[in-house]
Structure 1
Amino acid sequence: IDLALLLARNSSCKAGSMGCAIADKSGMIIAGHVNGPLWEPNAKRPASDLHAEVNAIGRCARLGRTTEGSSVYVTMPPCKRCFMVLVAAGVRRIVTRKEFMAQDSKDLQLAARRLNIDLMVVSDTPARRERLDKLFQMRKRKHDEDADPPESELL
């Protein structure tokens, strides 16, 4: 779930930053993605037209990676449409950090039980947040170090 949370920090969508990571049966990460725009990709704060789950499943499809029996880690519970995409892709476990929304919970839980899909919630804690902030800062520093040196340093 931590990887999904780190990925979410790369989203620029105005409706919120969502991330999704997919692990195959063996636990190896095979894809990760964020929510993104479709209709207005150049907007400063674009809409979240393509949900993170759909983008991650699409990435697996483009790369020829099977999602049968996989686990999906997503920052927020999937909406009904994303849940349907995950079911169609053969996902067997969905892990999120928030409880499912009341209006969707009953339907999704009934379908998940019938289809033998595990739904799990991993609670957010201050310690996890602190660790993620540190990881993100390390990544940001590394990225900044790898960037081209300022023009003044080239002389």
Structure 2
Amino acid sequence: MTQRIPWDHYFISQSLVLATRSTCQRAMVGAVIVRDKRMIAGGYNGSVSGETHCIDEGCYLQDGHCVRTIHAEMNALLQCAKFGVQTDGAEIYVTHFPCLSCSKSLIQAGIKKINYLNDYRNDAYAIHLLEQSGVAIHQIKLPPHFFEKMSLALESNAVLPSSSPQLFENCENGDCKNCQ
């Protein structure tokens, strides 16, 4: 039996794909809001719709922050608000730990769990607020050679003969048959 990619890896991969749409190169961040193992919204760092992008004219900085950009987490939450999608009890997968402002918005939106890949200015007060509000925080650790295995899946055009090796075999130390 071929082992499938774990849900956490699947959803964090989706956030990484969304990050490639980012229009602010200071931080290319992607976020996916998930409920019951279904993506309900996604977002990436980018300018207000219809406005100039950082990649076109540079960042508009105030106090060292790009104020032109709406953060990925906020864009995902705003997409839910725009289309009437409930966020209470959902979780978010985001490429980077949320800033203080996004953390507060996620709490207010009823997000129950934050799954993130990379540490990024993990604000102590944000962590305090999240923990106090009962929001679970989980850093996802991708296994060694994860992206190499993803590349193999793409090269195979996602059609795997039954004789092919298990692409997503549990690999902890790089000694598995797929890593050699």
Q: TM-score, normalised by structure 1?
A: 0.75
> In the superposition, relative to structure 1, how do residues 138 and 62 fare at CA in structure 2: closer, same or farther (>3 Å)?
farther
Could you tell me how far apart the structure 2 residues matched to 1:74 and 1:135 are?
23
For 1:95, the aligned partner's letter is N
For 2:140, the aligned partner's letter is V
> Is 1:19 equivalent to 2:37 in the alignment?
no
Could you report, residue by residue, the CA deviation over 1:43-86 in whole angstroms, capped at 9, with x for unpaired residues?
52654610000000000111111000110000001000011111
Q: How many residues get paired?
A: 136
Match of 1:2 in 2: 13
What SS is found at the alignment partner of 1:73? strand
For 1:21, the aligned partner's letter is V
What SS is found at the alignment partner of 2:106? helix
- Asked whether the equivalents of residues 104 and 129 of structure 2 are also in contact (C-alpha less than 8 Å), the reply is no
Q: Structure 2: 5+ residue runs without aligned partners?
A: 1-11, 60-67, 158-180
Could you tell me how far apart the structure 2 residues matched to 1:54 and 1:34 are?
9
User: Of Structure 1 and Structure 2, which has the larger fraction of its residues in helix?
Assistant: 1
Q: Which moved more, 1:52-61 or 1:109-118?
A: 109-118
> In the superposition, relative to structure 1, how do residues 138 and 9 fare at CA in structure 2: closer, same or farther (>3 Å)?
farther
Could you tell me how far apart the structure 2 residues matched to 1:138 and 1:115 are?
44
Could you tell me how far apart the structure 1 residues matched to 2:54 and 2:24 are?
11
Structure 1 residue 122: deviation in Å? 0.6
Q: After the TM superposition, list the runs of 4 or more consecutive aligned residues in structure 1 that deviate by more than 6 angstroms.
A: 135-139
Could you tell me how far apart the structure 2 residues matched to 1:137 and 1:112 are?
40
Give the counterpart of 1:78 among 83, 94, 98: 98
Match of 2:45 in 1: 35
Structure 1 residue 132: deviation in Å? 4.5
Q: Percent identity?
A: 26
Could you report, residue by residue, the CA deviation over 1:9-34 in whole angstroms, capped at 9, with x for unpaired residues?
1223221311000002x221101111
For 1:109, the aligned partner's letter is I
Q: TM-score, normalised by structure 2?
A: 0.66
Could you tell me how far apart the structure 2 residues matched to 1:5 and 1:135 are?
16
Could you tell me how far apart the structure 2 residues matched to 1:27 and 1:61 are?
20
Could you tell me how far apart the structure 1 residues matched to 2:105 and 2:156 are?
34
- Asked whether the equivalents of residues 12 and 46 of structure 1 are also in contact (C-alpha less than 8 Å), the reply is no
- Asked whether the equivalents of residues 95 and 120 of structure 1 are also in contact (C-alpha less than 8 Å), the reply is yes
For 2:56, the aligned partner's letter is K
Give the counterpart of 1:119 among 123, 137, 153: 137
Give the counterpart of 1:94 among 94, 109, 114: 114
For 1:94, the aligned partner's letter is I
> In the superposition, relative to structure 1, how do residues 4 and 134 fare at CA in structure 2: closer, same or farther (>3 Å)?
farther
